[in-house]
Amino acid sequence: MRTGVNDRSDLPIALVIGGGGMGMSTARRLGQSHRIILASLTADKNPKREELLREDGIDATVTQCDITDPESVADLGRFVAERGQLRTLAHVAALSPATGDWRTVLTANLIGVTHIERMCLGLATQGTAAIFVSSLAAHRSDPPSDEIISVLDDPLAPDFFERLEALVPEQESVLAYRLSKFSVNRMCRRRASEWGARGARIVSMSPGLIATPMGAREFSGQSGELKRELLRSTPLQREGTMVETADAIEFLASERASFITGTDLLVDGGTLAAVR
């Protein structure tokens, strides 16, 4: 027996993708009922993240993963499988429009998400729940054309960008963000039967304006005025908090949501209702 550690081998595993503010908030919340494996691209920050989670009494391991690299994702899958049964996936990692160009945003927010979804489906068993954090942006515009949707539905195709760019002349990061989040929500609907065959669930959660470090950058970026207008339109007259998004993720992962799959939960303080 070891002393002075937080080891909880009796708990199931929650895999959290993303080490930013929302990812850490999610890890802290799920860490009340899970062993946490947190995967983040920024390896230099991971030891401190693990230290902070363990200081909170959480059985946490933080590891490096590049979700856009299939081999890195496969390594992560083996890392999780060696440690036990995957009970919950919370995919939080994403790039905002201010942090990447057209291809970079789509690569992280759609191709990377798809790699994680495929890998975790292989680990899913009875009762596993996968929650993919999307965005209000997925709901803000009219759906793209059927031709564009057909391309977005197959982001791992070798000619994905060539086919998409032939259909979308305005290759801007804001549009890439909207298309990627629309596609994540659609993926969770389309893949529900595959997950259900394993007794597992897959859902998306679309936050509105949330007070995060990345979100703050957007207010000074190219979409800053749009975000300020959305905030003024929000019925609750404030941004949401990372605690509130963790609440939603915790609920969707729990047995209280055991009949919820293949759908999206909008957590936006009423913004969409107001602007519609």
Six token digits for residue 115? 């790699």
Q: Is the pLDDT of residue 107 over 80?
A: yes
- % of the chain exceeding 90 in pLDDT: 86
Beta carbons within 10 angstroms of residue 260's beta carbon: 14
Predicted pLDDT of residue 218: 66
Task: Please give the CATH topology (third level) of the domain spanning 13-211+241-269.
Answer: Rossmann fold (3.40.50)
pTM listed for this prediction: 0.94
Q: Is the pLDDT of residue 98 over 90?
A: no
Confirm if 136 and 174 have CB atoms less than 8 A apart. Answer: no
Q: Report pLDDT digits (tens) over 48-81.
A: 999 999 999 999 999 999 999 999 999 999 999 9
Q: Report pLDDT digits (tens) over 182-239.
A: 999 999 999 999 999 999 999 999 999 998 877 666 666 666 777 788 889 899 999 9
CA 199 – CA 193 distance, rounded (Å): 10
Predicted pLDDT of residue 6: 86
Domain boundaries, given as residue ranges, for the chain: 13-211+241-269
Predicted pLDDT of residue 221: 64
CA 106 – CA 67 distance, rounded (Å): 12
Predicted pLDDT of residue 225: 77
Residue type (1 letter), 107: T
Confirm if 139 and 275 have CB atoms less than 8 A apart. Answer: no
Residues sharing a CB contact under 8 Å with residue 31, sequence separation 6 or more, in sequence order: 14, 53, 56, 57, 58, 59, 60
**R_g over Cα of the chain:** 18
Q: In which band, very low, low, confident or very high, does the pLDDT at 1 lie, cut at 50, 70 and 90? A: low
Predicted pLDDT of residue 111: 98
Q: Report pLDDT digits (tens) over 83-93.
A: 999 999 999 99
Helix (H) or strand (E) segment spanning residue 183: helix 173-190
Q: Which residue has the tokens 């389309």?
A: 190
CA 222 – CA 217 distance, rounded (Å): 10
Beta carbons within 10 angstroms of residue 274's beta carbon: 14
- % of the chain exceeding 70 in pLDDT: 95
Predicted pLDDT of residue 140: 87
Q: Which residues pair with 240 in a beta bridge?
A: 210
Q: Is the pLDDT of residue 259 over 80?
A: yes
Helix/strand/coil percentages in the chain, nearest 5: 50, 15, 35
